[in-house]
Amino acid sequence: MSILGVESVVFGVADLAEHARFWSDFGLPVEHVDEQEAIFRLASGSRVIVYAHGDPRLPVPDPFPGDGIKETVWGAAGAGELETIVARLAREVAVTREADGTAHAVCPDGQPIGLRVWAKRPVVSTASPVNTPGSHPRFNQHRIWRQRAIPKTINHVVFFSPDYVASFEFYERMLGFRYTDHSLGTGIFARADGTFEHHSIFWVNCDLPIAPDHFKFMHIAFGMDDIDEVMLGANLMEARGWKNTTMNTSGGISRHRISSAIYYYCEIPGEAGEAEYHADTDYLDDNWVPRAWNFKFGSLLWSNNAPPIFRGPDIPWEMTFDADRQSFAPFRKAEPGKQPATGELADITAADEHAI
């Protein structure tokens, strides 16, 4: 089907000027900012678009209260791919079209999505070889020195879902997304078929005690060249007054265990979720075999504020290959309505929210 990734995300916010300042400080290249909108365009061509609440360009009805991503627009490789996807979507959900061909729909979980043809730009990305005590690939050569963190791509978006298994299966059926990994009871990672990043979207289980009981935006991750850019971005954001208080951010830079990515989260103004600096993630193709992980392993952080349930020498390294999706069965919803979390998942508290 060739969905190439996130073409744009559309934020609805209460304070447009404050959000414009945040994204500019974060390092997103400014395309246009005025009193009506703030638009940032990355090297890949992906855009972050910010409107004030009530702007007629935002989806109606609003998918959730407050600030956050109100629509995710996925980029199709060509007109033929777009029309194939739209025709498939229209068999299950209502689809509207704009004059330029952009399609809009609402997924069964409540997520508004858009689709349009996207001329995705190739990204020139440079990182220095890494020397170690036993290996010196950067011999007689100084490391690249960076003065600014500049995100190059939108790697993924994350949302809470009232039925995360069904949310993935809708994306797979309609948009051709690939299953990559499952953090058991926590969520499913999926990759757009036209990109190699470990995941383009992750759905977090609304049945977790720390989660809302409805669809909601959680965070957005931006691809950086290397750990230097992640560190630089984190320090510059702190210096510019963006004080981070969540467990992820106040715990510092860390590395995700399932996708291998180095990361640092910044709180978006207005309690709108988090923006993630993201580097050195796993890259995959269709030879990848999906895995199912014990949720403690998948959520373990090096950050110093990680709650005890996610750290320590006894965190189980429990993984099974899951090409047949046997891991989905216990988490399928037999009928509409919220089901209570069971077992160890019920022990997760609000303090653990950003470790998921």
Query: With helix as H, strand as E and coil as C, how does 89-130 read?
Result: HHCCCCEEECCCCCEEEECCCCCEEEEEECCCCCCCCCCCCC
The answer, yes or no, to whether residue 346 has pLDDT greater than 60, is no
**What percent of the residues of the chain are helix, what percent strand, and what percent coil, each to the nearest 5?**
20, 30, 50
Measured CA to CA, the distance from residue 200 to residue 301 in angstroms comes to 21
Select the highest-mean-pLDDT range: 202-211, 300-309, 338-347: 202-211
Confidence (pLDDT) at 297: 80
Cβ pair 170, 85 in contact under 8 A: no
CB atoms within 10 A of CB 274: 21
Confidence (pLDDT) at 303: 65
Q: Are strands 178-183 and 187-191 parallel, antiparallel or unpaired?
A: antiparallel
Which of the 8 DSSP states describes residue 184? T
Q: Are strands 103-106 and 112-117 parallel, antiparallel or unpaired?
A: antiparallel
Confidence (pLDDT) at 314: 72
Task: Look over the chain and give the mean of its residue pLDDT values, rounded to a whole number.
Answer: 90
User: Distances in Å between the alpha carbon of 13 and those of 160, 163, 273, 297?
Assistant: 19, 26, 11, 34
Which tokens belong to 43? 């090297």
Cβ pair 272, 306 in contact under 8 A: no
Residues 259-282 have a mean pLDDT of 95
pLDDT in tens, 19-67: 999 999 999 999 999 999 999 999 999 999 999 999 999 999 999 999 9
Q: Which of 96, 348, 321, 56 is nearest to 206 (CA)?
A: 348
CA angle 136–138–140, rounded 5-degree value: 100
The answer, yes or no, to whether residue 287 has pLDDT greater than 90, is yes
pLDDT in tens, 217-255: 999 999 999 999 999 999 999 999 997 776 554 467 888
Q: Which of 256, 255, 245, 249 is nearest to 234 (CA)?
A: 249
Measured CA to CA, the distance from residue 327 to residue 324 in angstroms comes to 8
Q: Which residues contact 111 (CB under 8 A, 6 or more apart)?
A: 63, 72, 159, 161, 167, 215
Confidence (pLDDT) at 37: 98
Q: What radius of gyration do the chain's Cα atoms show?
A: 20
pLDDT band of residue 311 (cuts 50, 70, 90) is: low
Give the percent of the chain with pLDDT over 90.
80
The answer, yes or no, to whether residue 337 has pLDDT greater than 60, is no
Confidence (pLDDT) at 243: 79
The answer, yes or no, to whether residue 320 has pLDDT greater than 80, is yes
Q: Please name each of the domains of the chain with its CATH number.
A: 3-121+151-355 (3.10.180.10)
Confidence (pLDDT) at 351: 42
Cβ pair 208, 356 in contact under 8 A: yes
Measured CA to CA, the distance from residue 295 to residue 300 in angstroms comes to 9
The answer, yes or no, to whether residue 349 has pLDDT greater than 60, is no
User: Who wins on pLDDT, 334 or 213?
Assistant: 213
User: Distances in Å between the alpha carbon of 169 and those of 21, 188, 213, 261, 328?
Assistant: 37, 10, 20, 25, 11
The answer, yes or no, to whether residue 140 has pLDDT greater than 90, is yes
pLDDT in tens, 185-219: 999 999 999 999 999 999 999 998 879 999 999 99
pLDDT in tens, 143-183: 999 999 999 999 999 999 999 999 999 999 999 999 999 99
